[in-house]
A and B are shown apart, each in its own frame.
Chain A
Amino acid sequence: MFAVAALALFVAMVLVLIRLYLGPTLYDRVLAVNSFGTHTVLFIGVLGFLTGRPDFLDIALLYALINFIGTVAILKFFRYRAIGDATWLPAEKGSDG
């Protein structure tokens, strides 16, 4: 039964990767990466059950944490052109801080 779930997750990952390649705008790609991360979390969980190794779920939890931070970091970079402290940025283009 977990094999069916693993196969479905694999198909979903391939579709999301196609969207990642095609995505016209940057935000399509960020969305695809975020969705791929969530699918990876589920895939690791399912694999943990398939191979009978419950410690995979720690990896899945860690991946969920990192995936969220990665998405927000990418967005912040493209919004402020810098990941670091944004307060020192000169107020160019009237973009609010």
Chain B
Amino acid sequence: MSMSALFIEILSWVLILSGSFFVVVGAVGIYRFPDFWARLHAASISDSAGVILLLLGMALQAGLTLITVKLLLIGIFLFITGPTSTHAVANAALVSGLRPKEAPGLTGAEPETQSS
């Protein structure tokens, strides 16, 4: 195995390991955090760092083939829908009256219509 191939192999291993590390970190955060809003943050860790690092690691393993194109498509799509779905969940929670534990009443965050 030539030097550059070996380097790419090691680099993809490092990316995959760190990606799976961030996925586990995000999941532990989702499990342990006290409040919905904190868990929202933890979920986005595994959504962003975990996804990007794992997909990059896999793309390096596959080299410049159709597989890398598919991985890129998955990455782009998750990049677009990750924040969108997190925003949708947060907005739905806020509108339904869920408030962070520490802040009794956020100034300016009260929904216009006080739903029951």
Q: Which residues of A contact B (CB under 8 A)?
A: 1-2, 4-5, 7-9, 11-13, 15-16, 18-19, 25, 27-28, 30-32, 34-35, 38-39, 41-42, 45-46, 49, 54, 57-58, 60-61, 64-65, 68, 71-72, 75, 78-79, 93-96
Contact = CB atoms under 8 A, between A and B. Distances in A.
Nearest to A57: B70
Chain B: interface size category: 35 or more
A64 B66 CA distance: 18
B70 A61 contact: yes
A93 B95 CA distance: 12
Nearest to B12: A1
Q: Is the interface of A mostly helix, strand, loop or mixed?
A: helix
A26 B114 CA distance: 19
A19 B71 contact: no
A79 B89 CA distance: 11
A28 B36 CA distance: 6
B30 A39 contact: no
Q: Which of A1, A30, A35 has the most CB of B within 10 A?
A: A35
A97 B71 CA distance: 38
A5 B26 contact: no
B51 to A, nearest CB: 7
Interface in B15-68: 16-17, 19-21, 23-24, 26-28, 30-31, 36, 39-40, 43, 46-47, 50-51, 54-55, 57-58, 61-62, 65-67
B113 interface: yes
